[in-house]
Amino acid sequence: MSGPDSKDRAYHLAERQKSGRGDYLEALLAPLAIEQRAAILDLGCGSGYVNEYVAARFAPVRNLGLDYALATVELARELTKAQGPVFFCASAEQIPLPDACAGHVIGRVVLPYISVTRAVREIARVLKPGGTVLLSLHPWTHYAAWLSLKPWRWRKTAAALLLLASGAWFAVTGREVHPAIGSHRVTQSFQTASRMRKLLLASGLEVYRVIKKREFLIYARRL
Ligand SMILES: C[S@@+](CC[C@H](N)C(=O)[O-])C[C@H]1O[C@@H](n2cnc3c(N)ncnc32)[C@H](O)[C@@H]1O
């Protein structure tokens, strides 16, 4: 069995430790109004701690965790002790599930790394009418914090400028740009509440709560 490379594994283990606490997840998920025996889908599920919490708290009828990285899916399977969660490898931009199959979708820090437009379209498709979604996003300040006048940090500063420019273009025009640097395509970007409101509404999802504190969170409901 292949394992995640040490960097990814260390990242996911640290995130699990930091964000896998019951009190944090209770507050994070409360606005979704998840009912007992609901059908849940976590996009970019990482090490699976959200699915594990959901399994214990809501006894869901379906509890799916999807991640693009096979090694991460394998890590989630290895670490998750709860009965019920099913982890599989797929892209949130092309979800291999039928229409209207999920009552609640969670996307914690995955949309900033992929095509937001495609992912939102897919979320709207798989959500049942009345179903709810939580998206945790990157505000522009996430990348502004990378800017530095120190010459040895020029790479990070250049990346920040590129990501701030592509995010600003998306905020103003609604069109995503994913510039290529050599063979590497940059898919990372920042999001704004107003652009996300418009994008979600265009796919039939109405935003009912925006939280901008320690995290940038958007909650929306399928109309
Ligand atoms: C920042 S991590 C967040 C992990 C987890 N949601 C959490 O909050 O701890 C982003 C995750 O998204 C996954 N990912 C990246 N691109 C993806 C895509 N197109 N579809 C699904 N997952 C993706 C990565 O493999 C990674 O596990």
Q: pLDDT tens for residues 42-94?
A: 999 999 999 999 999 999 999 999 999 999 999 999 999 989 999 999 999 99
Q: Which two tokens stand for residue 147?
A: 């800017």
User: What spacing in Å lies between the alpha carbon of 91 and ligand 1's midpoint?
Assistant: 9
Mean pLDDT, to the nearest integer, of 4-32?
A: 93
Task: Report yes or no: 2 and 72 within 8 Å, Cβ to Cβ.
Answer: no
User: What spacing in Å lies between the alpha carbon of 109 and ligand 1's midpoint?
Assistant: 7
Other beta carbons within 10 angstroms of residue 68's beta carbon come to 16
Q: Is 34 exposed, middle or buried (0-12, 13-18, 19+ CB in 10 A)?
A: buried
Of 29-33, 68-72, 95-99, 178-182, minimum mean pLDDT range: 178-182
What's the count of helices (H) and strands (E) in the chain, helices before strands?
Answer: 8, 9
Structure confidence at residue 181 (pLDDT) = 75
Q: How confident is the model at residue 184 (pLDDT cuts 50, 70, 90)?
A: confident
- Ligand 1 atom nearest the C-alpha of 92 is 20
How many residues are recorded in the chain? Answer: 223
User: What spacing in Å lies between the alpha carbon of 108 and ligand 1's midpoint?
Assistant: 8
Structure confidence at residue 69 (pLDDT) = 96
pLDDT > 70? residue 6: no
Structure confidence at residue 5 (pLDDT) = 65
User: What spacing in Å lies between the alpha carbon of 149 and ligand 1's midpoint?
Assistant: 31
Q: What is the mean pLDDT of the chain?
A: 95
Does 46 contact ligand 1 (Cβ within 6 A)?
yes
User: What spacing in Å lies between the alpha carbon of 198 and ligand 1's midpoint?
Assistant: 24
User: What spacing in Å lies between the alpha carbon of 175 and ligand 1's midpoint?
Assistant: 22
Round to the nearest angstrom and report the end-to-end CA distance of the chain: 42
Distance CA(31)–CA(107), nearest Å, equals 14
Q: How confident is the model at residue 183 (pLDDT cuts 50, 70, 90)?
A: confident
pLDDT > 80? residue 4: no
From atom 15 of ligand 1, which residue's Cα is the shortest distance away?
Answer: 68
* Residue with the larger pLDDT of the pair 131 and 6: 131
Place of tokens 């099913």: 86
The model's pTM is 0.95
From atom 1 of ligand 1, which residue's Cα is the shortest distance away?
Answer: 109
Structure confidence at residue 150 (pLDDT) = 96
Structure confidence at residue 187 (pLDDT) = 84
Structure confidence at residue 2 (pLDDT) = 43
Does 13 contact ligand 1 (Cβ within 6 A)?
no
Does 73 contact ligand 1 (Cβ within 6 A)?
no
pLDDT > 50? residue 1: no
* DSSP E strand boundaries for 7-120: 39-43, 62-67, 86-89, 102-108
Does 110 contact ligand 1 (Cβ within 6 A)?
yes
Does 79 contact ligand 1 (Cβ within 6 A)?
no
Which residues share a beta bridge with 207? 220
